[in-house]
């Protein structure tokens, strides 16, 4: 995502009640913050937040947490939420590497990854949000039946991700190389990047993955 130094972004984020600071203090207690026991779905690398804001409006009985490392893009989602004040939508400005410090075992029901940075160089492969290293981190916070849903226009990143899923001891539930021409398009909510790529005629790939044998793994 293009970075611009938006004046006051950090200050606005610091002042917003929808952006949770000292996020590690809420590990295992996110439901208390929402004031209900509804499932928690997170998006990692949410950018400007259209996807998650739309889902939060559509599904009031699901709690959504958007995670984004840059204030300059997060500010857009925060500004929108300051207008909407949806009770089921919060944000954290953080680097996803530290997810397991913020969420407890079994705390998250679903993880969305949309148009994640490709990190094309081999030596940066571990930074890809669908690498085995990241899937291992997701394993630490997801419910046994919890899923990861990943969309991208980047075929190389998608092929890599399809390999990482079994490598990490996960299994594919479904996948498509052309979401908008597939059965899975029904109910699909487009992200900012997706709108742009679809308008340019790029096919969008999508996969859903769960842990293989989650009961056994969760007994760790
Ligand atoms: N999901 C949005 C934005 C995609 S761009 C969309 O589909 O429109 C990828 C976003 O992920 C960027 O905003 C980037 O800052 C964020 N990001 C990438 N790696 C991250 C990480 N490790 N932790 C948190 N955010 C990350």
Q: Lay out the sheet containing 170-176: strands in order across.
A: 89-93, 63-68, 40-44, 108-114, 142-152, 205-211, 170-176
User: Ligand 1 pocket, 102 CB below 6 A?
Assistant: no
Tell me the CA–centroid distance for residue 116 and ligand 1, in Å. Answer: 6
Q: How far apart are CA 121 and CA 118, in angstroms?
A: 9
pLDDT at 220: 46
Q: Domains plus CATH for the chain?
A: 27-218 (3.40.50.150)
Q: Which segments in the chain show pLDDT lower than 70?
A: 1-7, 214-220
Q: Quote the pLDDT of residue 216.
A: 52
Q: Is the CB of 153 under 6 A from ligand 1?
A: no
Note the pLDDT of residue 57: 98
pLDDT at 6: 65
Contacts of 104-107 with C-beta under 8 Å, sequence gap 24+, read 104/27, 104/28, 104/141, 105/140, 105/141, 105/218, 106/141, 106/142, 106/143, 106/144, 106/218, 107/27, 107/28, 107/30, 107/40, 107/141, 107/143
Q: Is the dihedral of CA 24, 106, 158, 134 positive or negative?
A: positive
Q: Nearest Cα to 145, choosing from 210, 65, 97?
A: 210
Question: Which one of 1, 6, 102 would you pick to mutate in the ligand 1 pocket, going by the greatest count of ligand atoms within 8 A of its CB?
Answer: 1
Interval 53-102: pLDDT, tens: 999 999 999 999 999 999 999 999 999 999 999 999 999 999 999 999 99
Ligand 1 contact via 96 beta carbon (within 6 Å): yes
Radius of gyration from C-alpha coordinates of the chain:
17
CA distance 210 to 219: 16
pLDDT of 8 = 78
Which phi-psi region, left, alpha or beta, contains residue 25 (left: φ > 0; alpha: ψ -120 to 50)? alpha
Contacts of 99 (CB under 8 A, 6+ apart): 44, 67, 137, 138, 140, 141
Q: What is the pTM of this model?
A: 0.95
């Amino acid at each position: 995502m293009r970075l611009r130094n938006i004046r006051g972004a950090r200050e606005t984020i610091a002042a917003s009640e929808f952006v949770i600071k000292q996020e590690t203090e809420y590990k295992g207690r996110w439901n208390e913050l929402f004031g209900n026991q509804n499932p928690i779905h997170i998006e990692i690398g949410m950018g400007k937040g259209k996807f998650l804001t739309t889902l939060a409006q559509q599904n009031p009985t699901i709690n959504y947490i958007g995670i984004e490392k840059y204030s300059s893009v997060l500010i857009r989602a925060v500004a929108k939420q300051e207008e909407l004040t949806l009770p089921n939508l919060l944000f954290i400005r953080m680097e996803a590497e530290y997810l397991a410090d913020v969420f407890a075992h079994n705390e998250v029901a679903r993880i969305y990854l949309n148009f994640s940075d490709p990190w094309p160089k081999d030596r940066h492969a571990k930074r890809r949000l669908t690498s085995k290293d990241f899937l291992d981190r997701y394993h630490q916070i997801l419910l046994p039946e919890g899923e990861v849903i990943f969309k991208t226009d980047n075929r190389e990143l998608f092929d890599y991700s399809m390999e990482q899923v079994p490598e990490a001891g996960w299994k594919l539930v479904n996948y498509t190389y052309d979401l908008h021409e597939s059965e899975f398009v029904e109910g699909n909510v487009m992200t900012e990047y997706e709108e742009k790529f679809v308008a340019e005629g790029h096919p969008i790939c999508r996969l859903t993955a769960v842990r293989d044998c989650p009961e056994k793994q969760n007994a760790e």
